[in-house]
């Protein structure tokens, strides 16, 4: 397990378009995202200990964000041949086990992760209603897979985006396992 941090990136950049398979074997198109106050996209996988450490809080935060008309979308970008724990069937089980109320999409070609310049799981991207990037940062401050304070940076950032259209001035990178790229 290699710990990586997400880079702080170009705020205001337009959200890349995507069309990915969901757990019902249907395609989810990003063009459907026009009627939300904000959009939260996060890259996760099933096997990463950093994802496992925050998944319950991530589901509850995503549920809370629905009250603000914010859609959450999870994308699994890893190589499923080398990491079978992240394959499509295991994605279904992981989603059911943790009661996902949001789409969990498979980026089996890894094109979407590359468009977003995602580097780790988890990696969070918060967009305003105009699909402009306003947040690329951490969920909670963590050390050794433990949350070390209860400040929910992600929730606060998304609430600010809904209210003002802009993310926080100060952002801290997310940290997690490297995305498992295909050779």
pLDDT tens for 51-69 read: 999 999 999 999 999 999 9
Number of domains in the chain: 1
Is 29 inside any structural domain?
no
Is 63 inside any structural domain?
yes
Contacts of 16 (CB under 8 A, 6+ apart): 30, 112, 115, 116
pTM of the model: 0.95
* Residue, of 72 and 145, whose pLDDT is higher: 72
Is 88 inside any structural domain?
yes
Task: Report residue 173's pLDDT band, with 50, 70 and 90 as the boundaries.
Answer: very high
Is 161 inside any structural domain?
yes
Is 27 inside any structural domain?
no
**CATH number, domain at 101?**
3.40.30.10
Domain that includes residue 161, residue range:
3-7+39-178
Contacts of 141 (CB under 8 A, 6+ apart): 147, 148, 149, 151, 153, 172
Task: Report residue 3's pLDDT band, with 50, 70 and 90 as the boundaries.
Answer: low
Is 105 inside any structural domain?
yes
Is 48 inside any structural domain?
yes
The DSSP-derived string for 28-56 is EEGGG-TT-SEEEEEE--SS-HHHHHHHH
Stretch (H or E) spanning 180: none
Rounded to the nearest integer, the mean pLDDT of the chain is 95
pLDDT at 112: 99
Task: Report residue 8's pLDDT band, with 50, 70 and 90 as the boundaries.
Answer: low
Is 25 inside any structural domain?
no
């Amino acid at each position: 397990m290699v710990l990586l941090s997400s880079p702080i990136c170009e705020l205001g950049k337009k959200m890349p378009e995507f069309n990915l398979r969901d757990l019902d074997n249907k395609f989810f198109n990003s063009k459907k995202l026009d009627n939300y106050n904000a959009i939260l996209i996060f890259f996760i996988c099933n096997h990463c200990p950093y994802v496992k450490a925050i998944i319950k809080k991530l589901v509850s935060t995503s549920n809370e964000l629905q009250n603000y008309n914010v859609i959450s979308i999870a994308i699994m970008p890893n190589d499923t041949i080398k990491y079978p724990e992240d394959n499509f069937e295991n994605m279904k089980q992981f989603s059911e086990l943790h009661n996902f109320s949001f789409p969990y999409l498979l980026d089996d070609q890894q094109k979407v992760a590359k468009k977003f310049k995602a580097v780790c799981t988890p990696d969070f991207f918060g967009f305003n209603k105009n699909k402009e990037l306003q947040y690329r940062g951490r969920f909670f401050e963590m050390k050794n897979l433990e949350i070390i304070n209860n400040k929910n940076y992600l929730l606060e950032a998304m609430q600010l985006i809904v209210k003002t259209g802009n993310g926080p001035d100060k952002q801290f990178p997310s940290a997690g396992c490297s995305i498992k790229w295909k050779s």
